[in-house]
Amino acid sequence: AQSVTQLDSQVPVFEEAPVELRCNYSSSVSVYLFWYVQYPNQGLQLLLKYLSGSTLVKGINGFEAEFNKSQTSFHLRKPSVHISDTAEYFCAVSRLNTGKLIFGQGTTLQVKP
Amino acid sequence: GAGVSQSPSNKVTEKGKDVELRCDPISGHTALYWYRQSLGQGLEFLIYFQGNSAPDKSGLPSDRFSAERTGGSVSTLTIQRTQQEDSAVYLCASSLVLAGGGGEQFFGPGTRLTVL
């Protein structure tokens, strides 16, 4: 079975500061990794995904994530956040050849002016 | 083009009643998923349809929950004899099926179910 742990339930940060949202996963088989974002009163939207290849993945809105197999981590980063980045962020995994997503508990990013 | 749509957007029901939630996936997407989002449990996988294959029902929490997908398109999630713990936002997603998996899932706005 797979599981995902998002280490911080809430991350407050000031505008234009860098941010890292942490995600660790557990799986006995190879997995794909995803970050989804849920803006207030909106649906889930894919930020980025890692399937294979380069371990540094770039997504929308200036976000990037790095897959670290030895540490089973997939942390999300942004060098300078905006107020509009305030949202809930979900890390997820899926086994190869299946689309079923297993989500972490989510991290609320609160960007303050 | 149109995204994933779900109806109703809100549903309030009494404990013990049956409810049906509808999902219209993006045209051409052969995979369809149901998830549940609640305060206590976060985002949970419920069921997954892919083409003509048997659905993966491994996430359904009890036999009161069932889902079907007619004609490879619209899906209905049915909850029988609703309980208060069924209160949640039910999300539907659809995707293309890529060789080896990993296709982006596009989510609908959800149906907020409240069981009184």
DSSP label of B15: T
Which residue among A99, A102, A104 places its CB closest to the CB of B95?
Answer: A99
A99 band by pLDDT with thresholds 50, 70 and 90: confident
Contact A49 B104 (CB under 8 A): yes
Is the CB of residue A31 less than 8 Å from the CB of residue A96? yes
Q: Is the pLDDT of residue B100 over 80?
A: no
Which of A8-17, A22-31, B32-41 is predicted most confidently? A8-17
Which of B92, B94, B76 shows the shortest CA–CA distance to B28?
Answer: B94
Q: Which of B42, B48, B109 sits opposite A99 (nearest CB)?
A: B48
The predicted model gives B19-31 an average pLDDT of: 94
Query: Could you tell me how far CA A73 lies from the centroid of its own chain?
Result: 10
Q: Give the per-residue pLDDT at A105.
A: 95
For residues A8 and A109, the answer to whether their CB atoms sit within 8 Å is no
Q: Are A50 and A31 in contact (CB under 8 A)?
A: no
Instruction: Give the separation between CA A47 and CA A78, rounded to whole angstroms.
Output: 12
Radius of gyration of chain A (CA): 13
Q: In one letter, which amino acid is B15?
A: K
**Contact across the interface for A94 and B48, Cβ inside 8 Å:** no
Partner A, chain B 41-60, Cβ-Cβ below 8 Å: 42-45, 48, 50, 56, 58-59
- Confidence at residue B108, expressed as pLDDT on a 0 to 100 scale: 95
Q: Is A43 in contact with B110 (Cβ distance < 8 A)?
A: yes
- Average pLDDT over chain B reads 92
Nearest to A8 by CA among A75, A66, A82, A85: A75
CB-nearest to A105 from B42, B50, B109 is B42
Query: Are A43 and B108 an interchain contact pair (Cβ–Cβ within 8 Å)?
Result: yes
Tens digit of pLDDT for each residue in A21-73?
A: 999 999 988 889 999 999 988 889 999 999 988 899 999 999 999 999 999 99
Say whether residue B102 is in contact with chain A using an 8 A CB cutoff: yes
pLDDT band of residue A98 (cuts 50, 70, 90) is confident
Residue whose C-alpha is closest to residue B41's, from B59, B55, B58, B57: B59
Q: Which residue in chain A has the smallest CA separation from B108? A: A43
A99 within 8 A of A49, measured Cβ to Cβ: no
Contact assessment for residue B95 and residue A44, using Cβ atoms and an 8 Å cutoff: no
List all residues 6 or more positions away from A69 whose beta carbon is below 8 Å from its beta carbon.
A55
Burial of residue A84, with CB atoms counted within 10 A of its CB: 0-12 exposed, 13-18 middle, 19 or more buried: exposed
For residue B5, the chain A residue with the least C-alpha distance is A43
Average pLDDT of B84-97? 94
* Single-letter code of the amino acid located at A52: S
Query: What would the pLDDT profile of A71-82 be if each residue is shown by its tens digit?
Result: 999 999 999 999
φ, ψ of residue B16 to 5 degrees: the values are 100, -15
Q: Which residues contact B64 (CB under 8 A, 6 or more apart)?
A: B79, B80, B81, B82, B83, B86
